Chain A
């Protein structure tokens, strides 16, 4: 499976600021996904990022709040904009199986965000 890295691994931010999270994978993949996981909760899909097209957002998530870039087949960014304490969460990037099954997903290590 692909090796996935995320930066930063954790951050503490002030209310009203923005943070950009990077996701890098060591091989080309078709689909990249961004999830949020709040303490003690399961995974919530924020959006799907495909190279060369606009990200597809899930209900309850909007582009102005969570802009996403996908400039190539190995990299994506998620920005959390105008942050509030409610945005404190773990943000996870995942990728599809690359040359393997596209319905299989592998997760990066996550970014732990705390908003004060």
Chain B
């Protein structure tokens, strides 16, 4: 079984700071990577996808991918209390034709 590892947290940051969420994966052949946000009691919501090495920016969110190091990260700039949630890293496993999820990192943004 392919693995996706995340620090469970909680990661606490002050409002306005940059939150940095990290994820490593075991399948060197993986090509597709995703970040989901899950508020308590809600279902996961896709916030970013990334396929190429480097950075991908969308508003306050930046996804970073380094396939050589098998590492994906999500940066949230100007963090807001409304960003407090669990962030799930997911990697598409082509051979298994399914997404493999990490355990999630709890983010708390303090005002």
A residues near B (Cβ < 8 Å) are 1, 31, 33, 41-43, 45, 48, 59, 92, 101, 103-110
A105 B43 Cβ-Cβ under 8 A: no
- The verdict on B57 contacting chain A, using a C-beta distance below 8 Å, is no
Min C-beta distance of A53 to chain B, whole Å: 13
A48 B98 Cβ-Cβ under 8 A: yes
Alpha-carbon distance between A107 and B39 when the two chains are bound, in angstroms: 13
Alpha-carbon distance between A48 and B94 when the two chains are bound, in angstroms: 14
A-facing mask of B42-71, CB < 8 A → 1, else 0? 111110010000000000000000000000
Residues of B in contact, count (CB < 8 Å): 21
A-B contact pairs, 23 of them (CB 8 A): A1-B46, A31-B97, A33-B98, A33-B99, A42-B88, A42-B101, A43-B44, A43-B88, A43-B101, A45-B99, A48-B97, A48-B98, A92-B43, A101-B32, A103-B92, A104-B32, A106-B46, A107-B36, A107-B43, A107-B45, A108-B43, A109-B42, A110-B43
Chain A facing B: main interface SS: loop
A105 B101 Cβ-Cβ under 8 A: no
Alpha-carbon distance between A103 and B32 when the two chains are bound, in angstroms: 7
A42 B45 Cβ-Cβ under 8 A: no
A105 B97 Cβ-Cβ under 8 A: no
Alpha-carbon distance between A104 and B1 when the two chains are bound, in angstroms: 20
With CB as the reference atom, state the residue of chain B lying closest to A106. B46
A42 B98 Cβ-Cβ under 8 A: no
B104 A42 Cβ-Cβ under 8 A: yes
- The verdict on B34 contacting chain A, using a C-beta distance below 8 Å, is yes
B99 A105 Cβ-Cβ under 8 A: yes
- The verdict on B103 contacting chain A, using a C-beta distance below 8 Å, is yes
Partner of A107, one of B32, B44, B49: B44
A104 B102 Cβ-Cβ under 8 A: no
Min C-beta distance of B23 to chain A, whole Å: 12
